[in-house]
Amino acid sequence: MIRLRAIIILGAACVALSGCVVGPKYSRPSAEVPGSYKEQPAAQNTSQNPAEKWWLVFSDAQLNDLEDQIRVSNQNLKASEAAYRQARALVRIYRADLYPTGTFQPTATRYRYSDNRPPISPLSGIGYNDYVLPGDVSYEVDAWGRIRHSVQYARENAQASAADLATLNLSLEAELAMDYFELRSADAEEKLLTSTVNDYEKTLQLTESRHTGGLASGLDVQQAETQLEATRSQATDVGVTRAQFEHAIAALIGKPPADFNLAFLPASKPPPAIPAGLPSEILKRRPDVAAAERRMAAANEQIGIAQAAYFPSISLTASGGFESGALGTLLQGPALFYTLGASAAETVFDVGRRRGGVEQAQAGYDQTVATYRQTVLTAFQEVEDNLAALRILNQESKSEDLAVRAATRATELSLNQYRGGLTNYLLVLTAQAVQLNNERASVDILRRRLDASVGLIKALGGGWDVTTGIPRAEQMAGSPTGGSR
């Protein structure tokens, strides 16, 4: 009863000590958040923001099919998913330290003493068996919260890894969309140049006919032929750009370029309107911001781990089992043995090692705070950049459309005058060159508008949301949802 009472008192003391957690309590540091965007001052209805499959807003069936293949085929994404599963497994490793560790090591040994063993004793020549069924239990009392800080540190790092996975996924989706629109813009430019080549062939025929009739010089014919072949060369050169983007798309969806082809389909539709919402939503819609915030929380736990080193580590041990020289008596009461023990270890002199550890952890936390705030600033910059690009390119597109119409009309007038002998070929040549330059500029502006739209969606976090995108802390020790085994 005395021994039992001592064990109960010791256990109660350990439970009481386990509530003494050292280290700072985490609270998210503030980050400067403007009330509205400079490029979109009016507050937007957030319900109109892109959903999880944000690329559907472009209403392009081929793009939709390609985007759906990224998550199941991209190898970089699979590597990031494996890193996330490693982070979750690490939570299990740290969490195991919260509980006792038990071992069981049965042994069966046959002993015999030598007949010539000096000095001669009654044991000389005697042999015997020794059967042991031992068990050992050890437990480190988490008196100062070191283990709990370690578990929380691993959980928060795993949450950051989940956000990293979402960041990579969004980046790959955006990269695919941009490559796709670059390819479609190359198709549009090729279509324009091919159509222009056809027009220039007709102009060359007209010039040759006039030259045959003595109405045009040989110089006019050479200039028309030069313009035609130069434009034909440009149309051919577009194929290089198209092939490279087609290969890039193949790699993104996990296919060899040799086994992948995209049919010719010129870009023609302008991008949809995309509301930016409120700047404060960036803090919960950008996975990279969420990852930076979770790493702040993990760094805060590191301070608690470092501070716990100032206090003694307390361990409880127990061992026991059965030992006998015969199997028949191994499990009988007299064969029982046990030991109980407790120990405490405290460093009394380390020449500032622990203080250095605390200072390092505090500096690490300050670093993650600065990284978090810079990540937020970068997010705001990316949103503003793409909002400005869309606004300016929209204005430029309207002006360029007017320029294209005017240049087309000027080319028609110059050709009519040339046919009637009212002007020289140089005026036609100049008008056609101006028209082509403006038409190519119009194609390029559409490409940039589509890219800026994708960039804006990426800057806003796509359809990701921190409340559903990061698993809760209590889920971190379980199996990853959807993860491969």
pLDDT at residue 432 is higher than 50: yes
What's the pTM? 0.86
pLDDT at residue 152 is higher than 60: yes
319-341 confidence digits (pLDDT tens): 999 988 888 888 888 889 889 99
Bridge-based pairing state of the strands 101-104 and 107-112: unpaired
Mean pLDDT calculated for residue range 426-453: 96
Q: Which domains does the chain have, with CATH numbers?
A: 15-101+144-313+353-475 (1.20.1600.10)
Task: Pull the structure tokens for residue 30.
Answer: 């503030």
Name the pLDDT band for 356 (thresholds 50, 70, 90). Answer: very high
Name the pLDDT band for 267 (thresholds 50, 70, 90). Answer: very high
pLDDT at residue 416 is higher than 70: yes
30-86 confidence digits (pLDDT tens): 998 998 888 877 655 444 556 789 999 999 999 999 999 998 889 999 999 999 999
Q: Which residues pair with 319 in a beta bridge?
A: 136, 339
Calculate the CA dihedral of residues 62, 64, 67, 72 and round it to 10 degrees: -100
Name the pLDDT band for 4 (thresholds 50, 70, 90). Answer: very low
Per-position DSSP letters for 240-253, written without gaps between them: HHHHHHHHHHHHHT
CA distances from 270 to 9, 143, 274, 442 (A): 76, 63, 12, 11
Rounded CA-CA distance 228/196 in Å is: 9
More confident position, 356 or 46: 356
More confident position, 304 or 17: 304
Calculate the average pLDDT of the chain. Answer: 89
381-402 confidence digits (pLDDT tens): 999 999 999 999 999 999 999 9
Which burial class, exposed, middle or buried, applies to 310 when counting CB atoms under 10 A from its CB (0-12, 13-18, 19+)? middle
Mean pLDDT calculated for residue range 358-366: 96
> What kind and span of H or E run contains 130?
strand 127-141
